[in-house]
Amino acid sequence: MADRLARLSLAVERSVEGLLGGHHRSPRRGISVEFVERRPYVQGDDLRHLDWKAFARSDRLSVKRYEEETNLEATLVVDASASMAYPEAAPNAGTDAPLTKYDYACQVAMAIAHLVLRERDGASLALFDHVVDRVLPTSTSQGHLEVVGQSLLQRDAQGTTAFSAVLANLTERIARPGLVVIVSDLFGDLAELDAGLGFLRTRNHDVIVLHVLHADELRFPFDRLTRFEGMETNGRLLVDAPALREGYIEVINEWRAEVRQLCHRRGVDYKLIDTDQPLDVSLSAFLGARQARLGGRR
Amino acid sequence: MNFEFGAPAMLGGAALIGVPILIHLLNRRRYTVTRFAAMAFLQKAFAKRRRRLRMESLLLLLLRCLAVMLAALAMALPFVPTDSLLAALGGGARDLVLIVDRSGSMARRLPGGASVGERAIEALRNVVSRLSDEAGDTVTLITMGAADPLPVPIGARPSAVLEVLDAGLPAPAGRADMVEAARLLRDRVRAVRKSRLDVEVLTDLQALSWGEDVGPILAEVFDDGGGTLRIEDLGRQLGDTANRSVSALEASDALLLAGRAATFNATLVNHGDTIQRGVRGRFLLDGELRRQVTDIEIPARGSASVELRLRVDAPGPHHLSFELDADELPFDDTRTLAFETRDAVQVLIVDGDRAVDPLKGSAGFLALALEPALAGDDAAQPAGFTTQIVDPRGFEALGRSIESADLIVLANVGGLGAETLTRLHEVVSSGTALMVFLGDRVEPVSLGERFGTLLPAQVGALRGDPTGRGEQDYVSLVLPEPAPPELELFSDPRLAMLLQVPVLAWHELTPVDGAHVLASFADALGATTPAIVRGRVGLGATLLFGTTADDAWSLLPRQPPTWVPLIHELVSSLTRVDPATHNVPLGSAPALVLQGTPASARLLDPAGGVERIARPEVELIGHRSRLDLNATPLDEAGAWSLEIEPADASRPGEVIALAALPDAREGDLRRIDSATLEQRLAPVSFVMGERLDEDPDEAGSESGDGSLFRFLLWSLLVCLLGESLLARRMGGMR
């Protein structure tokens, strides 16, 4: 466990050095030092925000709005279902075991947590399969990174995926609008994913989907007669793999396009992460582009 | 569609068609197991492509099986009949062997008027004309039954064969022998044509042409390079026939003498299944009618004999023919016998103990038996022999004039001078017969040393008691079983009694190699020892009698009913010319012994044609010569003559009568049935052709050798290429 944590931390250290740091502006509006706008008063508005000076000048009730410059709360939602355990190591692989999607997802989560905590923002962690089975509360402590790492590594990838229930649950758990980073292979029902993302977005969360797929799943390089067995289902299929490659790639590309469109429709940032790519390469381009987009929108 | 296979054993390789299937099934059991996360997408992709994947997989399997099948088929060297549509796939030059039946039975008329032989030539021309010189096609033509079975060189160009056909082949007359044709194919054609041979036989399927060995011999031909056999049945339009033929014409007497009546017999055969009555025929001597015979009755599948008692006054060569009224197969309705009548047989007798009284000498009884007039009876009927008796000294004085004798008899001659013996050896070797009797002047050891190889037996110890007074029992002559032709007269039990005449003393005889015993001496207990031994020295016949020619040791000379016919038969057989020498099977060449050396010769055929032989090549044998007419075989049935002009102008010219005889069996027109044909041809497979039904104008080219090897090889390559592309498309599953 300690070794795994050390390796994970090392990988994350190397990766985050190239990533962008910076301020995170809160999407929450309220008490703050920086005025944003004035709007007509409606029943139910906090009377503390009434602009008395404006009322005196115009005899109209209006309410001041400010941008609150506060700590970001980033929730890292990591898929720990059985499909994330791909590729499975041979029984006697030892330290030569290949990097699984879950391993890679852990590195991604740790890297983002590292960035968030370095900015003194708050980071929390949720692991899920068909339910949210582990949640770390938000903390801005630098020591929290280690807690996150331990939580990630204590969990093995197993169980089936159910987005709707998981994301609905998280929506209820996360009190304030913040950043929700979902790290998953998204192997589940897309309608449920759509619904779950909808829940988050209605609570005004800024949602990022980091779609982790293994190179085998993207390019299907198998070259012989193979019996494929499902990791989350009991399905089996004996097939001449090269003969099915073209068809498989076509199907999975269609699915990826569908996922991308779904995220776009929900206003969710989407990034496909190929486990064959180094972590910093995968994240830096995405985060850089996101930073630029958010800055430009401002 | 009939397929033939050059190497049918390789068809067993087709069993390997199971190998791809087995590999396919084994491969289905050899797979890796992978737990895969994106299983849902895999299943979706599989569901979309299941049908196509299965089709491609099945197609791949079929291509692999097909490749094995094609390889096995190609190695089995398959062929189709060259007139088959598939033959065009073969390509390549054809090596065609055409065996055409030119036997006498092919002269039979078909319903349309043409003979079977003419239809065969027509079919032959059709086949050859479809071949091409330019394509490298070759034809080997074998004419069964003809004098020359290879009228064109082996592997000739088609145009050369057409030229020969245009010039015309000899009329059908010989006997077809498929075994002989197959041997020729194996021993001569196959020796120079190593490639695959397409053999086509054009025949009337006469049963007697198909011997039992034809199948194995053809199998040897086809095993060595491959080939096909096609049989064109040209006689299937023919119905049953009641053909009759003259199967034999021969003289009953060994010696035919001018002015003396002789008996001739013609044997007539009915090849049909019903009796034939009222058959008419006629004997002709040298073309002139001698006897008309009517109302001959020939039993079904049987024979009848017609006799002619004929006296020919003029010595010399003659032809006797017997003609039947013509039937649908004319070639066997006439048969000719060539023979020569002689004035007399010249016998030179050397008497080793000559006395004034002829009967006191050693040869007196012999001379009287040959020439009864010597006894002073002028009214005695001449026997056809003239004798000259000399003592040994007189014999030596005769010098080379002994060459004029037909037979030299040594009776009790103990010895001759070396020069005389040498001359005697030469004369006998060149064809003069020699007859030797023993006696008290003959010392066995000395005789063996002096006469050496002239004698057909070694002379051993004297047995018996010449005086007849001793205790030694006598012996008498007995004939071996069966009786030799020379003494067949005595094979009749009634005449055999005549031989029971005591012989009191005799020498033991041990025949030399090649000699045979004509009669033996048998004692009272039945023990036998050779008595009369016949041999041959060069062209001359030799005969040794184990006792005397007089009555010193034997009572035979004193028994005229025995002695005279015995001596006549022996002398006739020694001096006769074998009728087979001048009467030869159609298509063969006679070997003739001529007096002196010929300067030139003329051969006259039955139709009156003349072929001049300017410088006959002969083998000199003493004062005679032997002429082989190999270059001019007698290829037409009937009477032939050979006129010889001697090199020595002082000698008279010589005319020899010859006759070419059709094979008597050829008249049996029974056809072989399909089951027997298959049995005869086993293990070779064959196809029956239908050339008679073909319209030559509509028949296409037969270029292409009928071999599917190249086609299969290309198909195999295409199949493997397709398999490779499909496998690559499917992702390289192997």
Query: Once rounded to an integer, what is the mean pLDDT over residues B689-700?
Result: 51
Inter-residue contact B438 to B410 (CB < 8 Å): no
Nearest to B49 among A216, A238, A244 (CB): A244
User: Is A272 near chain B, with CB under 8 Å?
Assistant: no
Q: Domain B345-575 sits in which CATH superfamily?
A: Class I glutamine amidotransferase (GATase) domain (3.40.50.880)
Q: Give residue A9's pLDDT.
A: 59
What is the span of the domain harbouring residue A18? 2-27+72-294
Q: How confident is the model at residue A295 (pLDDT cuts 50, 70, 90)?
A: low
| A220/A131 same-domain check | yes
**Does the reported pTM lie above 0.80?**
no
Q: Give residue A264's pLDDT.
A: 93
Is the confidence at residue A165, as pLDDT, over 80?
yes
Query: Once rounded to an integer, what is the mean pLDDT over residues B439-446?
Result: 87
Query: Once rounded to an integer, what is the mean pLDDT over residues B693-708?
Result: 52
Q: How confident is the model at residue A77 (pLDDT cuts 50, 70, 90)?
A: very high
Is the confidence at residue B49, as pLDDT, over 70?
yes
* Nearest in space to B281 (alpha carbons), one of B273, B271, B272, B291: B291
Q: How confident is the model at residue A26 (pLDDT cuts 50, 70, 90)?
A: very low
Q: Any idea which of B84-98, B124-138, B483-497 has the lowest mean pLDDT?
A: B84-98
One DSSP character per residue, chain A reads: -HHHHHHHHHHHHHHHTTS-------S-EEEEEEEEEEEE--TT--GGGB-HHHHHHHS--EEEEEE-----EEEEEEE-SGGGGPSPPPTT-GGGPPPPHHHHHHHHHHHHHHHHHHTT-EEEEEEESSSEEEEEEEE--TTHHHHHHHHHHHPPP-S---HHHHHHHHHHH--S--EEEEEE---S-HHHHHHHHHHHHHTT-EEEEEEEE-HHHHH----SEEEEEESSS--EEEEEHHHHHHHHHHHHHHHHHHHHHHHHHTT-EEEEEETTS-HHHHHHHHHHHHHHHHHHH-
| A99/A59 same-domain check | no
Please provide the CATH number assigned to the domain covering B584-661: 2.60.40.10
B85 compared with B15, residue with greater pLDDT:
B15
| A172/A43 same-domain check | no
Is the confidence at residue A150, as pLDDT, over 80?
yes
Q: Domain B92-239+670-705 sits in which CATH superfamily?
A: von Willebrand factor, type A domain (3.40.50.410)
Q: How confident is the model at residue B698 (pLDDT cuts 50, 70, 90)?
A: very low
* Nearest in space to A268 (alpha carbons), one of A174, A182, A185: A182
Q: Do B37 and A255 count as a contact with CB atoms less than 8 A apart? A: no
Query: Once rounded to an integer, what is the mean pLDDT over residues B516-538?
Result: 92
| A51/A111 same-domain check | no
Is the confidence at residue B84, as pLDDT, over 70?
no
| A168/A226 same-domain check | yes
| A97/A157 same-domain check | yes
B428 compared with B496, residue with greater pLDDT:
B428
Q: Give residue B692's pLDDT.
A: 47
Q: Any idea which of A39-48, B399-408, B500-509, B686-695 has the lowest mean pLDDT?
A: B686-695
B127 compared with A252, residue with greater pLDDT:
A252
Query: Once rounded to an integer, what is the mean pLDDT over residues B629-634?
Result: 83
Query: Once rounded to an integer, what is the mean pLDDT over residues B649-671?
Result: 87
Q: Give residue B379's pLDDT.
A: 61
Q: How far is B71 from chain A (nearest CA, A)?
A: 27
If one counts the domains in chain A, the total is: 2
Query: Once rounded to an integer, what is the mean pLDDT over residues B543-566?
Result: 92
Q: What residue spans define the domains of chain B?
A: 4-87+720-733, 92-239+670-705, 244-342, 345-575, 584-661
Distances (CA, A) of B358 to B159, B550, B563: 77, 10, 16
Class of domain B244-342 as given by CATH: mainly beta
Of all residues in chain B, the percent with pLDDT exceeding 90 is 34
Distances (CA, A) of B55 to A225, A236, A247, B44, B59: 17, 21, 15, 18, 6
Is the confidence at residue B500, as pLDDT, over 80?
yes
Q: Which two tokens stand for residue B613?
A: 């032989």
Q: What CATH number did the domain enclosing A82 receive?
A: 3.40.50.410
Residues of chain B with C-beta less than 8 angstroms from the C-beta of A82: 37
Q: How far is B726 from chain A (nearest CA, A)?
A: 10
- For the stretch B369-395, pLDDT in tens is 998 877 666 666 667 889 999 999 999
User: Is A286 near chain B, with CB under 8 Å?
Assistant: no
Q: Do A230 and B57 count as a contact with CB atoms less than 8 A apart? A: no
Q: Give residue B350's pLDDT.
A: 93
Q: How far is A259 from chain B (nearest CA, A)?
A: 14
Q: How confident is the model at residue B114 (pLDDT cuts 50, 70, 90)?
A: confident
DSSP state of B285: E
Q: Give residue A290's pLDDT.
A: 79
| A122/A247 same-domain check | yes
The reply to whether domains B92-239+670-705 and B345-575 share a CATH topology is yes
Query: Once rounded to an integer, what is the mean pLDDT over residues A265-291?
Result: 85
Q: How far apart are CA B285 and CA B266, in angstroms?
A: 13
